[in-house]
Amino acid sequence: MRKTSGQANILRQGLLHRAKMLTVQGRTTYPSGMEQMQPGDQLRSAGGGAMSKAASAKDRVDNALSRLESMVEERLRAESARAEELSKRLTKLEQQHDELKRVAMDVEGRLERAMEYIRSLLAADQQ
């Protein structure tokens, strides 16, 4: 069966589109079967001795946990210091609030006495 020129153009465009794509189907970035390691294989440590994959993974996990613990402890110290600072600030604000309440009550009492005095003057003036 012979392809028409229209069908050939469609196929050609599809191939050009695939060539422009970043990844090509059928190719992989994983190492070939011969390069892959199997469970229990030995890795070479920096000192030249053999080290199992499990021991290497355990060391990496221990190292990551240690770093995480130190980060958590540092964060805890920072948050503790911040909490102490906020507590001091809250205490100071509460004291200021109490002082302002006392002043407001004093002003209110003075205003009431002044209004009573003005009323008494007005009453005396009208008599």
Q: Check residues 119 and 44 and name the one with the higher pLDDT.
A: 119
Q: Is it the case that residue 86 has pLDDT exceeding 90?
A: yes
50 pairs with which residues across the strands?
Answer: 44
The predicted-structure confidence for 3-28, as pLDDT tens digits, reads as follows 577 777 777 777 666 655 555 555 55
Pick from 6, 9, 28: nearest CA to 17: 9
The predicted-structure confidence for 31-69, as pLDDT tens digits, reads as follows 555 555 555 555 555 555 557 888 999 999 999 999 999
Measured CA to CA in angstroms, residue 57 lies from 6, 54, 70, 98, 116 at distances of 57, 5, 20, 60, 86
- Determine contact, residues 40/55, Cβ cutoff 8 Å: no
